[in-house]
């Protein structure tokens, strides 16, 4: 999994996987020491990794995690973007993204279904269930952002994706995800106007400039969002008054100056998004801290833009439905096909079947064959245990790793992403992901990680990651059931505790909570 995240990462030569500077290991020496440690690791031992650097192997037990990690954690008062960067420069810390530092990244597919599910929720609420004929304006074609064109096309909409780097546009075009690439806004609009559903155009340009131009012209796209790496004002967002080359050169020489210009550009982009919103566009932030950065640079109304999780995805998280994923460690496409077949055969929900049919056709393989699939509490463990039996019976060519994005019901506290606007005001309480990690370790998950935000996410984020491998053994079956149920179960309980009735019903239905209170069939609200 470590090698896989680098193979499909954005800048493997720098150990960077995605999210501007999200790394898989602190440096190459740490990488080599991690690999050597993993190769010699016994079943009754645990490797400890601190921000991408191996610390030690301790004796544990066959029921304990093989790897535990903490990445990017700095105590509250010190958790600023500037101090975080200083600690990284001194070689003491690393930004591990969500799934880079704990080797769970599966390429753009990791966010593909998230964007797709988000668009589905948007069309259900605003467009009578269909995106056909609708225009989505967004930006960023990086590691995660490159999922956007395909998600828009799969949802049946049309799109313009603004990207400052022509190479990123070319990559998306070569993958077949863009119908055309141009640096001319008029041409992009003409191509969209005459195009069929599913047509997405890459527009080489700066989002701050293009969004402003569209707002000034009175062009009102149906949906407006953004997936530049806005959380990182130095390495993630190109200021509007810099060319790509100037940005790359100056961010090393003058990080503070670049950050200041980038934030002012983000404010300009957000002002344009607000103007488009008042013109009738459905506008939301997609989880990149754009509003925080823009507000810091003077966009006072930035938070009149909705956050995607609170506005559209929370009902799913209340049922423990979120970005679950599996990876065929054999590398065989036939294993992935068998897993696709099995998850459809298990008939969890119509949405799952629809997603798998689309994914089979549209999602290319990056690195080890993998599938993102938003399963819920109980569904995840039932599926994983069934897969473990397939591995045990020899019907698959190798073991299967089960994991998820940290942006999940139990996995993340981020007051401007997953836990924005919680019903009880518990947005910033990070006990939940920490409890999640502790519980996962207690349940014997193979890899457990506690991450905190770096760069512009510093001070805003705490999350937990987990990987459990189905190797076909009975012990693995027990670990999968315990670990996956604990993870999604705690997620449901987190929302139930906050007062969401959907989550309370889900918790009661699944028998979650304190054993002696289960019979009461009521919820104890704090």
CA angle 79, 80, 83 (to 5 degrees): 95
CA 439 to chain CA mean position, Å: 22
Q: Does 206 bind ligand NAD (CB under 6 A)?
A: yes
Rounded (10°) angle between helices 501-510 and 474-497: 150
Name the one range near ligand NAD by CB under 6 A: 71-79, 229-237, 365-373, 432-440. Answer: 229-237
Q: Does 208 bind ligand NAD (CB under 6 A)?
A: yes
Q: Does 114 bind ligand NAD (CB under 6 A)?
A: yes
Q: Which is nearer to ligand NAD, 348 or 457 (CB)?
A: 457
Site string for ligand NAD, 375-404 (x = CB under 6 A): ------------------------------
CA angle 174, 177, 183 (to 5 degrees): 75
Among 72, 107, 212, 236, binds ligand NAD (CB under 6 A): 236
Q: Which is nearer to ligand NAD, 198 or 323 (CB)?
A: 323
Q: Does 409 bind ligand NAD (CB under 6 A)?
A: no
- Return the number of other C-beta atoms located less than 10 Å from residue 294's C-beta: 29
Q: Does 228 bind ligand NAD (CB under 6 A)?
A: yes
Cα separation, 269 vs 266, whole angstroms? 5
Residue 427's Cβ-side half-sphere holds a number of Cα atoms within 13 Å equal to: 13
Q: Does 419 bind ligand NAD (CB under 6 A)?
A: no
Q: Does 144 bind ligand NAD (CB under 6 A)?
A: yes
Q: Does 261 bind ligand NAD (CB under 6 A)?
A: no
Report the sign of the C-alpha dihedral through residues 276, 280, 281, 284, in that order: positive
Q: Which is nearer to ligand NAD, 146 or 443 (CB)?
A: 146
Q: Which is nearer to ligand NAD, 288 or 504 (CB)?
A: 288
Q: Does 111 bind ligand NAD (CB under 6 A)?
A: yes
Name the one range near ligand NAD by CB under 6 A: 221-229, 335-343, 363-371, 431-439. Answer: 221-229
Q: Which is nearer to ligand NAD, 45 or 306 (CB)?
A: 306
- Please give the size of the binding site for ligand NAD, defined by CB under 6 A: 33
Helices and strands of the chain, counted as H and E runs: 19, 18
- Closest residue to ligand NAD, based on beta-carbon distance: 142
Which stretches does DSSP call E strand in 318-476? 322-328, 370-375, 400-404, 412-413, 447-452, 462-470
Site string for ligand NAD, 70-99 (x = CB under 6 A): ------------------------------
**Gyration radius (Cα) of the chain, Å:** 22
Buried b / exposed e along 142-167 (16+ C-beta atoms within 10 A): bbbbbbbbbbbbbbebbbbbbbbbee
Instruction: Supply the minimum distance, in Å, between the C-beta of residue 163 and ligand NAD.
Output: 5
Q: Does 52 bind ligand NAD (CB under 6 A)?
A: no
Q: Are 275 and 83 in contact (CB under 8 A)?
A: no
Among 19, 88, 450, 493, binds ligand NAD (CB under 6 A): 19
Q: Does 135 bind ligand NAD (CB under 6 A)?
A: no
Annotated catalytic residue 71: no
Q: Which is nearer to ligand NAD, 105 or 432 (CB)?
A: 105
Q: First CA to last CA across the chain, in angstroms?
A: 40
Q: Does 287 bind ligand NAD (CB under 6 A)?
A: yes
Cα separation, 302 vs 313, whole angstroms? 20
Cα separation, 434 vs 420, whole angstroms? 18
Q: Does 142 bind ligand NAD (CB under 6 A)?
A: yes
Q: Does 237 bind ligand NAD (CB under 6 A)?
A: yes
Residues sharing a CB contact under 8 Å with residue 7, sequence separation 6 or more, in sequence order: 367
Q: Does 145 bind ligand NAD (CB under 6 A)?
A: yes
Residue 153: what are its φ and ψ, rounded to 5°?
-65, -45
Residues sharing a CB contact under 8 Å with residue 369, sequence separation 6 or more, in sequence order: 327, 328, 331, 332, 333, 335, 336
Q: Does 286 bind ligand NAD (CB under 6 A)?
A: yes
Among 407, 460, 495, 500, binds ligand NAD (CB under 6 A): 407
Name the one range near ligand NAD by CB under 6 A: 200-208, 337-345, 386-394, 460-468. Answer: 200-208
Contacts with ligand NAD, residue ranges (CB under 6 A) = 10, 18-20, 111, 114, 139-145, 162-165, 168, 206-208, 227-231, 236-238, 286-288, 407
Residues serving a catalytic function are: 373
């Amino acid at each position: 999994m470590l090698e896989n995240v680098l193979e499909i990462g954005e800048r493997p030569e720098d150990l960077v996987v995605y999210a501007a500077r999200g790394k898989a290991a602190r440096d190459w020496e740490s990488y080599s020491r991690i690999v050597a440690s993993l190769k010699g690791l016994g079943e009754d031992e645990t490797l400890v990794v601190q921000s991408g650097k191996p610390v030690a192997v301790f004796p544990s037990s066959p029921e304990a995690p093989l790897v535990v990690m903490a990445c990017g954690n700095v105590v509250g008062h010190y958790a600023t973007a500037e101090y975080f960067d200083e600690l990284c420069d001194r070689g003491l810390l690393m930004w591990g993204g969500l799934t880079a530092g704990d080797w769970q990244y599966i390429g753009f597919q990791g966010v593909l279904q998230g964007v797709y599910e988000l668009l589905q929720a948007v069309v259900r609420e605003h467009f009578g269930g269909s995106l056909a004929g609708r225009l989505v304006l967004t930006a960023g074609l990086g590691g995660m952002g490159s999922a956007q064109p395909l998600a828009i096309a799969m949802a049946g909409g049309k799109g313009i994706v603004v990207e400052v780097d022509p190479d990123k546009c070319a990559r998306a075009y070569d993958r077949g995800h863009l119908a055309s690439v141009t640096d001319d806004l008029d041409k992009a609009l003409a191509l969209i106007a005459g195009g069929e559903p599913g047509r997405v155009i890459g527009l080489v340009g700066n989002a701050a400039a293009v969004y402003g131009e569209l707002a000034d012209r009175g062009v009102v796209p149906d949906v407006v969002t953004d997936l530049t790496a806005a959380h990182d004002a130095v390495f993630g967002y190109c200021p509007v008054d810099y060319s790509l080359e100037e940005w790359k050169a100056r961010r090393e020489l003058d990080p503070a100056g670049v950050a200041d210009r980038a934030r002012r550009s983000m404010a300009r982009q957000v002002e344009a998004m607000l103007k488009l919103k008042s013109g009738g566009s459905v506008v939301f932030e997609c989880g990149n801290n754009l509003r925080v950065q823009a507000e810091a640079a003077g966009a006072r109304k930035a938070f009149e833009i909705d956050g995607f999780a609170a506005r559209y995805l929370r009902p799913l998280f209340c049922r423990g439905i979120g970005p679950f994923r599996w990876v065929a460690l054999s590398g065989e496409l036939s294993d992935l096909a068998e897993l696709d077949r099995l998850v459809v055969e298990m008939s969890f929900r119509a949405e799952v079947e629809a997603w798998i049919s689309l994914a089979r056709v549209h999602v290319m393989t990056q690195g080890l064959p993998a599938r993102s699939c938003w399963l819920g509490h109980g569904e995840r463990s039932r599926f994983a245990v069934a897969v473990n039996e397939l591995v045990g019976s020899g019907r698959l060519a190798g073991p299967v790793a089960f994991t998820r994005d940290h942006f999940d019901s139990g996995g993340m506290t981020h007051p401007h992403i997953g836990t924005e606007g919680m019903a009880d005001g518990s947005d910033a309480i990070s006990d939940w992901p920490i409890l999640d990690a502790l519980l996962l370790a207690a349940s014997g998950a193979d890899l457990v990680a506690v991450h905190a935000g770096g760069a512009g996410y510093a001070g805003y984020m705490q999350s937990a990651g987990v990987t459990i491998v189905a190797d076909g053994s009975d012990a693995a079956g027990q670990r999968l059931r315990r670990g996956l149920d604990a993870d999604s179960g705690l997620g449901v309980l987190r929302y139930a505790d906050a007062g969401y009735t959907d989550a309370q019903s889900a918790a009661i239905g699944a028998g979650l909570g304190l054993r002696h209170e289960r019979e009461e069939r009521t919820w104890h609200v704090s």
